[in-house]
Amino acid sequence: MPFDVQKVRADFPNLRQQVHGKPLVYLDNAATTHKPQSVINAVSNFYSKYNANVHRALYQQAAEATEAYEAVRDKVAQLINAPDRRSIVFTSGTTESINLLAYAWGRHNLRPGDEILVTEMEHHSNLIPWQLAARDTGATLRYIPIRDDGTLDLENPEQYFTDKTKLVAFTHQSNVFGAINPARQIIELAHAVGAITVVDAAQSVPHMAVDVVELDCDFLAFSGHKMLGPTGVGVLYGKPELLEQMSPFFGGGEMIRTVTMEKSTWAEIPWKFEAGTPKIAQVIGLGAAINYLNQLSYKTIGQYEQELTDYTLASLKDLDGLTIHGNPQQRGPVISFNVDAVHPHDLAQFLDEEGVAIRAGHHCAQPLMQRLGVPATSRVSIYLYNTKAEIDIFIESITNTIRFMTG
Ligand SMILES: Cc1ncc(COP(=O)(O)O)c(C=O)c1O
């Protein structure tokens, strides 16, 4: 069935909004995506039709809520091909998933002299938790450098992957220039030196099929709100044997088996890591988002986004005085650029006047900005509901801004 973007757009109420009297052209999807009506309905139905806490009570609505919540665990497992539903821990998002690992795994397994390997293109979410873990354990943080084309420099891996490397944490897809990193290769290099692997999949799971068995990653994290789901929910995937060995992160209700005044024992995984009342409505909303993605299929989404990304790149390349950062062959629908005559913040403000929402700033990747030698970039990020007509408006708005700024 051919992809009908107008039919898709009709499912997203926020795309019908006007900004400054102009139709919204939303191109900040790497930050967060809009939600289809089915996701909004799923959240609303939970609150209006079967609102109850999960796992504890015996009455009808609590059973219904528990069933709906736990069914999404199976759905997530299926989405990333996790063989065991106990591998799926619900968190508040990628940031919490990685912090959970840095505390529950990092603080218990890292020692002085150990090395944590990250890359120069990490989002702060996959960097600060490891900086803190290094500070607290005496481990050292090392970086795989990037090349000018925005890809990782993996030419001499023995420089970085050594018998000191205990953990390798890297982004699957850059949130700054869209480069898709060779995850399988990085994981093999890590496993060859006995290190465990953490994949930050915040920017990949929304756009492409991610298979944890094929990757053989030890841990993987992503956020619901970047893949049509609600805010406040995310996933930590972990190999069951590793999750079982780990201490809890948060303590509280739900995560215990027995509690005495002296000591406590823990619930089975994954509930050991889901202390307190979980994000019930958000998890149910995430389930509806996964249904939406499945119904379109990653293949269709990927092809459409590729076409739009190529179109955007070609249009941007036609503009004088505009530099695109990175030129990775394997890329997702994220493009960062700078315009000679206009600061990224000014450009974002001018575009906002036209109803065009793009991001300007360091994109929570300040070390990468240092590497690129710029304080900030402009970033356009595309999702399945964007159109060529929107890209044309975006390009025309940049052209008008450059013309205005250069007289
Ligand atoms: C690559 C990457 N990792 C992690 C995050 C953090 O995600 P969240 O804020 O949903 O926890 C983001 C968000 O932009 C991201 O792009």
Q: What are the pLDDT digits (tens) for 314-337?
A: 999 999 999 999 999 999 999 999
Q: Is residue 253 part of a domain?
A: yes
Whether the predicted pLDDT of 2 surpasses 90? no
| Residue 9 sits in the same domain as residue 47 | no
**Half-sphere exposure (CA, 13 Å, Cβ side) for 151?**
14
Q: Give the active site residue among 364, 366, 374, 400.
A: 364
List pLDDT tens digits, range 129-172. Answer: 999 999 999 999 999 999 999 999 999 999 999 999 999 999 99
Q: 1: pLDDT confidence band, cut at 50, 70 and 90?
A: low
Residue 82 sits in the same domain as residue 214: yes
Distance (angstroms) between ligand 1 centre and the Cα of 241 equals 26
Residue 94 and residue 145 in contact, taking contact as beta carbons nearer than 8 Å = no
The number of distinct structural domains making up the chain is 2
| 192 and 248 in a common domain | yes
Cβ–ligand 1 contact at 97 (below 6 Å): no
- Three-class SS state of 390: helix
Residue 57's pLDDT band (cuts 50, 70, 90): confident
pLDDT, position 166:
98
pLDDT of residue 6: 98
Rounded to an integer, what distance in angstroms lies between the CA atom of residue 114 and that of residue 1? Answer: 52
* SS (HEC) of 338-386: EECCECHHHHHHHHHHCCEECEEECCCCHHHHHHHCCCCEEEEECCCCC
Q: Is residue 35 part of a domain?
A: no
When pLDDT is averaged across residues 219-245 and rounded to a whole number, the result is: 98
Confidence of residue 196 (pLDDT cuts 50, 70, 90): very high
Packing angle, helices 280-296 and 37-49, rounded to 10: 150
Do 181 and 251 share a structural domain? Answer: yes
276 and 345, same domain (yes or no): no
Ligand 1 neighbourhood includes 125 CB (under 6 angstroms): yes
Q: Which amino acid is at 154?
A: L
Contact 123, 171 (CB under 8 A): yes
Q: 171: Cβ below 6 Å to ligand 1?
A: yes
Domain boundary, last residue among 294, 313, 334: 294
Q: How far apart are CA 169 and CA 106, in angstroms?
A: 12
pTM attached to this predicted model: 0.98
What is the sign of the dihedral through the CA atoms of 73, 74, 75 and 78?
positive
CA of 95 relative to ligand 1 center, distance in Å:
6
Q: Which of 250, 271, 294 is the last residue of a domain?
A: 294
| Span 329-356, average pLDDT | 96
| Residues 289 and 341 placed together within one structural domain of the fold | no
Ligand 1 near 126 CB (within 6 A) = yes
Is 173:305 a contact under the CB 8 Å cutoff? no
Q: How far is the CA of 400 from the centre of ligand 1 (A)?
A: 32
Give pLDDT, residue 279. Answer: 98
Domain residue limits at 20: 5-30+297-406
Residue pair 134/140 in contact (Cβ under 8 Å)? The answer is yes
pLDDT average, residue stretch 190-197: 98
Cα angle 80-101-283, degrees, rounded to a multiple of 5: 45
